[in-house]
Chain A
Amino acid sequence: MEFDPFLLARLQFAANISFHILFPTITIGLCWVLFYFRLRYTFSGDKAWEYAYFFWVKIFALSFALGVVSGITMSFQFGTNWPGFMERAGNIAGPLLGYEVLTAFFLEASFLGIMLFGKDRVSNRTHLIATVLVAVGTSFSAFWILSLNSWMQTPTGYRIEEGVFFVESWWEVIFNPSFPYRLAHMFNASLLTAAFLIMGVSAWRAMRGVDGPATWKVMRTGALMAAVLAPLQVWIGDLHGLNTLEHQPAKIAAMEGIWETEKGAPLTLFGFPDEEAKTTHMAIKVPNLASLVLTHEWDGEVLGLNEFEGETPPVAPVFWAFRVMVGIGMLMVLVGWWSAWRLFRNRDENRETQTWLLRALSVMTFSGWIAVLAGWYVTEIGRQPWVVDGLLRTADVVADHSSATVAGTLFGYVLLYLFLLVSYIATLRHMATKPARSLTLTPQQRAMNDAETAEGEA
């Protein structure tokens, strides 16, 4: 069977970036949560917060390591898979990536060492500053890479000479029209992912009976975050959607499954888009709702896919991914409110009376991952066939490798990533199962305890 090398190159890049984004999504949000734990224990002296910090810093470190190594892969793959992109758009993409390395990567990587191992070697203040610097570094990193991604979606501030992009205004390149929305949407998504992760793992600990006061404090922190940020995300998402409608109407048409331009367009809740027949089978529609949501007018006109002949993204994946993202988002709002209500009312820390909540939260542990992946599929598949919207086609920048080479390495990457993903989740489970006791002790005490246990067992 002959595979299209272009499709394989896209699949390989998609596999890498999908695996990569899982971990920054956690760390961008989690490091600010850690900073909060750190502040709480510095100012309250409460051991529970200190315990929460040191428990979660370990999970942060693991997630960070996975993000770093898969991120390095990304930085090479621009060249190995998409050399045309760098040759044509290098004048714009290069400096943005360069600023990410210079302002973010070294900062995070260097101060992470102090954050993890430096507690006994530096003052409390320096350790606190190191925690902030790592958080700032990860946020800088998100800033630059999202700026570049947004520029690819809504390019401004450039001129083209002989097919090569040149910069007219750095301000317009960096703060291009979709950037503020994408940055807010992704940053909030990271915080939500972290919120459900900390709640999920804590719930799992509570169900296993390995919880302490810290577990419930962490769970309440997550519940408060979710209850506020999940509805906020719905609002930001709506704004982001309106921005996309203005700049990338074909993407919106694919997301909503709107085939023909119409006024008072209905909203398709579910259905099976069929690109051949240009229709959505078994569609469940709400009259006029698409127009209302998108144009904020009952009879507003919504452009259909027919307007963008030859320049439309694949409809079904965008349509489905969008519904997955929105579905999980709505679930997050409900579970966020429910858990805040259950956890803050009477501060009930009894796993017998909270059984249903704990079950729900542990099921939702990785819900942020699924929503974030689905959201990125919407925006990235929705940009096709362009790599730089309306200006440069993805097919024109792909590297000229044989399909056997790309298929072989793709297979290798997928195996490796599956192995790492399974190891990551298994390790998280393992860490969550460990009783709280050993972590509150100093290394010396722990060593003594271990020795006693060993004697006891012998």
Chain B
Amino acid sequence: MDLGYWLPLFFAGAMGLALLIYVILDGYDLGIGMLLPFASDDEKDVMVAAIGPFWDANETWIVLGVGILLIAFPQAHSIVLTSLYLPVTLMLMGLILRGVSFDFRVKAGDKHKAKWNRLFAFGSLVASVCQGWMLGAFVTGLTGDATSTLFAALIAVALPSLYIMLGAAWLLIKTEGELFNKAVRWGRMAVWPMGGFLLLISIATPLVSSAIADKWFTLPNAIGLMPIPLATALAYAGLIWVFNSKQILHNGYGWLAFVALMVVCVLASIGLAYSLFPDIVLGRISIWEAASATESLLFTFWGAIIALPMILGYTIFIYRVFRGKATHLSYE
């Protein structure tokens, strides 16, 4: 077996998976963060309690994703992170503000609570917008020209709407009563911009990148690829249906909305992976050109195949321990 061929492929897959898990998991945290200003003070506490035990581990997935980029593809890591210097810096500042607010909002004393709630929401918004910006710039090959900047701006606005949907769907699982009803209303409102952006991005991506257009719109590939957009549309329709069906919502099937969103995310990342492959930076460097030395990859590979199942195992354990509706757990 040719390790020099398979190991970069394995790590590209692992990186994609880590970033997909990140988007879904920290997506709902950040979404709830952005929804925070629209809730009453008591509801804010429940919303934070709904993500309290999870957010830290959720955020670690982006460290793993970027970590794999760094470990396995150091050449690409340099290109990506130096090109994205500004959005990365702003995203980090956003994540810092959001992350520390969990503790400060309850520990710094009542007179500071409103300030930390605002910083919580602000940090979540900044991080989400910057991640969209980074994604947009990355998809267009980090060229930095006018079209790709416009595209990056489009995704910068689009990604927060996906996160807000994830946040609202997570609240359907974790809350009840008035907050649950609010989450339904938030979801019904955010689902339209999210869908609009999804459509716009699907149209804009092949327009800004001819390489991506070629991959999608040449026969016979185009026919084989049809299930991806079709299934995405179906999952999106399902999402609207769940948010508008009283029967589904009030019989405890609200979690279906989260599942539908996960399906959308998975399909979108399959589409993205297909668009980029075999490049790790579109049109600039392939995963094999960017890869580390085989002996370094192999050393990490053994660690990864032992550690990753364990991580997945205890992540599931943590979600089981904190299953059910969020109770008033206090950071105080």
Contacts and interface: CB of A to CB of B under 8 A. Distances in A.
Contact of A114 (B303, B311, B318): B318
Interface string A71-110: 0110110111001101100111011011101110111011
A61 B314 CA distance: 20
B296 A109 contact: no
A95 B99 contact: no
Contacts of B77: 79, 83, 86, 90
A80 B88 CA distance: 8
Contacts of A83: 77-79, 81-82
B330 A412 contact: no
A101 B63 contact: yes
B56 A117 contact: no
B76 to A, nearest CB: 10
B144 interface: no
Interface residues on B, range: 35 or more
A269 interface: no
Contacts of A166: 293, 295-296
A155 B328 CA distance: 51
Q: Is the interface of B mostly helix, strand, loop or mixed?
A: helix
Contacts, number: 207
A69 interface: yes
Interface in B276-332: 292-293, 295-296, 299-300, 303-304, 307-308, 311, 314-315, 318, 321-322, 328-332
A110 B58 CA distance: 9
Given A75-B63, A122-B321, A113 B93 contact: no
Contacts of A73: 92, 96
Contact of A98 (B68, B92, B315, B322): B68
B67 interface: yes
A234 interface: no
A399 B84 CA distance: 12
A75 B67 contact: yes
Interface in A46-78: 58, 61-62, 65-66, 68-70, 72-73, 75-76, 78
B181 to A, nearest CB: 25
B108 A427 contact: yes
Contacts of A275: none
Interface string B136-152: 00000000000000000
Given A111-B314, A405-B85, A116 B99 contact: no
Interface of A: 58, 61-62, 65-66, 68-70, 72-73, 75-76, 78-80, 83-84, 86-87, 90-92, 94-95, 97-99, 101-103, 105-107, 109-114, 116-118, 121-122, 164, 166-167, 170, 399-401, 405, 409, 412-413, 416, 420, 423, 426-427, 430-431, 443
